[in-house]
Amino acid sequence: QKEVEQNSGPLSVPEGAIASLNCTYSDRGSQSFFWYRQYSGKSPELIMSIYSNGDKEDGRFTAQLNKASQYVSLLIRDSQPSDSATYLCAVHPNYGGSQGNLIFGKGTKLSVKP
């Protein structure tokens, strides 16, 4: 069973701080990794994708990937109350038949306090 694990939180940070969200996955052969943000009552929206080891930065967001440790993280700098949401980690597994599906973690709820 391919799994993606996240701390459910809630993770509470003060406005302006760095929020750090973590994710581990079980399929060592996974190649593609994604972070989705989901506001309460809304659908998931993609905020970051990463395919290679290292860091990928996009504005206030940085995704970090360590395939050897099977670990993905998302850093949000200068956190804003509008960042308060549930963050879903998703992984494209690498096994026979997995042509396009993603395995999602259950999400980490982030709360940014003004």
Residues 21-40 that bind other proteins (CB under 8 A): 31-32, 34
Residue 90 C-beta: closest distance to other proteins, Å: 8
Tokens matching residue 39: 């506001």
Nearer to other proteins, 48 or 112 (CB): 48
Residue 16 C-beta: closest distance to other proteins, Å: 30
* The one among 7, 49, 70, 111 contacting other proteins by CB under 8 A: 49
3-state secondary structure of 114: coil
- Cβ 80 vs Cβ 65: under 8 Å: no
Which helix (DSSP H) or strand (DSSP E) does residue 57 occupy? strand 54-58
